[in-house]
């Protein structure tokens, strides 16, 4: 199954030639925001525990593609047929991603290997308030932000007779990063107790679109 010879297919070929051990832990980034939710976990695995991981992305200019970390193998597979094949024929122990709706549309679980699928939330909100029905039903492990996610998932499993998932209280990576940066700021600027945080919202008229970085 090969429909072209572009960079995405070449990168997929390189990924598939890795040893089983090198492909043990795989992260998949759907968009530019994904790395914000993966960063702390990737750092812990590759720097603190000295484990090798694969980082597979659909983002052409993903900053992780130029990472100097010797424990990170990076691959760009685009968002076309190469990505579809990646998911269908994946051979890995663990696949970690923040993309919901696994098995709902064209992104499927591997048909050739018993991959363990891990979902990381990209929001602290209540699950049913922003995700589709069944959006995380086909994952094996869920990294929950807090007890509110655990309760929702367990209740959903009970109502629909779903197989219980492994639930881990993980927190929210982006918030943890902000807290760490705040702590680092106070350590390097002990006499400055003022910190200005700009949160530019979304849409055509958000602050960054109107004013840029000036």
Q: Which residues contact 91 (CB under 8 A, 6 or more apart)?
A: 16, 20, 23, 110, 112, 113, 115
Q: Helix (H, G, I), strand (E, B), or coil: what is residue 119?
A: strand
For the stretch 156-179, pLDDT in tens is 999 999 999 999 999 998 887 777
> What pLDDT, on a 0 to 100 scale, did the predictor assign at position 174?
80
d(CA 178, CA 212): 22
Domain range summary for the chain, segments of one domain joined by +: 7-174, 175-211
- According to CATH, what is the number of the domain 7-174? 3.40.50
Tallying the residues shown for the chain, one arrives at 214
For the stretch 33-43, pLDDT in tens is 999 999 999 99
Tokens of 86: 């990646």
> What pLDDT, on a 0 to 100 scale, did the predictor assign at position 2?
44
> What pLDDT, on a 0 to 100 scale, did the predictor assign at position 192?
72
Tokens of 93: 């122990």
* Band (197; pLDDT cuts 50, 70, 90): confident
H helices within 111-172, ranges in order?
147-160
pTM recorded for the entire structure: 0.83
d(CA 62, CA 69): 15
């Amino acid at each position: 199954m090969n429909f072209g010879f572009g960079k995405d297919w070449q990168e997929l070929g390189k990924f598939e030639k890795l040893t089983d051990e090198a492909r043990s832990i795989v992260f998949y980034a759907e968009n530019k925001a994904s790395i914000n939710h993966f960063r702390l976990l990737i750092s812990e695995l590759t720097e603190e525990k000295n484990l090798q991981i694969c980082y597979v992305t659909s983002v052409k200019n993903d900053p992780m593609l130029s990472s100097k970390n010797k424990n990170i193998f990076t691959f760009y597979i685009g968002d076309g047929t190469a990505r579809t094949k990646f998911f269908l024929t994946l051979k890995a122990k663990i696949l970690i991603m923040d993309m919901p709706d696994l098995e709902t549309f064209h992104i499927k679980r591997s048909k050739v290997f018993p991959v363990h699928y891990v979902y990381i939330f990209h929001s602290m909100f209540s699950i049913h308030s922003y995700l589709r029905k069944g959006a995380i039903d086909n994952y094996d492990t869920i990294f929950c932000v807090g007890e509110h996610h655990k309760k929702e998932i367990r209740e959903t499993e009970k109502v629909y007779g779903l197989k219980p998932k492994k639930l881990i209280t993980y927190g929210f990576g982006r918030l943890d990063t902000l807290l760490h940066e705040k702590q680092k700021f106070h350590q390097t600027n002990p006499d400055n107790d003022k910190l200005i945080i700009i949160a530019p919202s979304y849409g055509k008229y958000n602050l960054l679109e109107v004013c840029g970085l000036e």
